[in-house]
Chains A and B, each alone.
Chain A
Amino acid sequence: MQNRLQKYRGDGRFVTWALSIATRVALSEMRRAQWKDVSLDAMSPAGHLPAPASQDSPVNIVYERMRLMDVVRTAIGEKLTAKQRDAIQAELAGVPPEEIANRLGTNRNALYKLVYDGRARLKEAILAAGWSEEHVRSMLSGDYSHE
Chain B
Amino acid sequence: MSERDPKLQTVIDMALSLLPHEMGCDNCFDYLAAYADHMTNGTTIPEHLRMVREHLARCVSCEEEPTFLLEAMKAQGEEHNNAEG
Contacts and interface: CB of A to CB of B under 8 A. Distances in A.
Interface residues of A, number: 54
A126 B12 contact: yes
A144 interface: no
A23 B69 contact: yes
Interface in A50-78: 50-54, 57, 62-63, 65-66, 68-70, 72-73, 76
**Which size bracket describes the interface of B in this complex?**
35 or more
A115 B34 CA distance: 26
A20 B15 contact: no
Nearest to A26: B68
B24 A119 contact: no
B18 A116 contact: yes
B68 A27 contact: yes
A53 B18 CA distance: 28
B21 to A, nearest CB: 10
A15 B65 CA distance: 16
Given A66-B1, A109-B24, A23 B68 contact: yes
Interface in B17-48: 17-18, 22, 24-26, 29-37, 40
Contact of A69 (B8, B32, B33): B8
B15 A122 contact: yes
B3 A20 contact: no
A12 interface: yes
A48 interface: yes
Given A19-B72, A20-B69, A69 B59 contact: no
10 contacts: A12-B33, A16-B36, A20-B29, A27-B65, A54-B4, A96-B60, A108-B25, A115-B14, A122-B14, A123-B16
Give the 9 A-B residue pairs with the shortest CB-CB distance, closest first: A50-B2, A65-B3, A12-B34, A97-B61, A122-B15, A17-B33, A123-B15, A12-B33, A109-B26
